[in-house]
Structure 1
Amino acid sequence: MRYEIRVQGHMSETLTKAFPELGHVVMSGQTVLFGPVTDDAHLFGLLARLRSLGLRVLEMRQLPE
């Protein structure tokens, strides 16, 4: 599965390094993280990491393969 996760604000390079398995792009006051997610446990782990870093998720969606 591939996912796209939109986060409020521009994530610094230091913060994006906390997600080495995901690519990222900064646009319009948001950071978009994208890439493969192996299973539900991986997805919930990503969300927990975002929350622990104080980042606000604006949107999350599964991308077509």
Structure 2
Amino acid sequence: MPEAEEPMQYEFRVRGPVPENAAETLPELDSVMLADKTVFYGTVIDEAQLFGLLARFRMPGLLVTQMRPLPY
């Protein structure tokens, strides 16, 4: 039986400011605007959630330019 995955903190960088209605489609993530990008961050519990988040970024047309796990 495979081991359960440990939740991890992730950061997603999106080019430009993100409209509030687009950010609301990702309620489990916090966000902050930095210069020419918006940074989303939060806990991702498993690979299925990670891929689901990436798909939800694409739905309103947001381009993830960088994604990385963060140390706890």
User: Fold conserved (TM > 0.5)?
Assistant: yes
| Equivalences, count | 65
Q: What are the ranges of 5 or more consecutive residues in structure 1 without an aligned counterpart? A: none
Identity of aligned residues (%): 49
Computing the radius of gyration over CA atoms, which structure comes out larger, 1 or 2?
2
1:29-44 pair list within 5 angstroms: 29-44=36-51
Q: TM-score, normalised by structure 2?
A: 0.86
Runs of 4+ in 1 over 3 A off after TM superposition: none
Q: Distance in 1 between matches of 2:35 and 2:50?
A: 24
Q: TM-score, normalised by structure 1?
A: 0.95
* RMSD value, Cα: 0.7
1:18 aligns with 2:25: yes
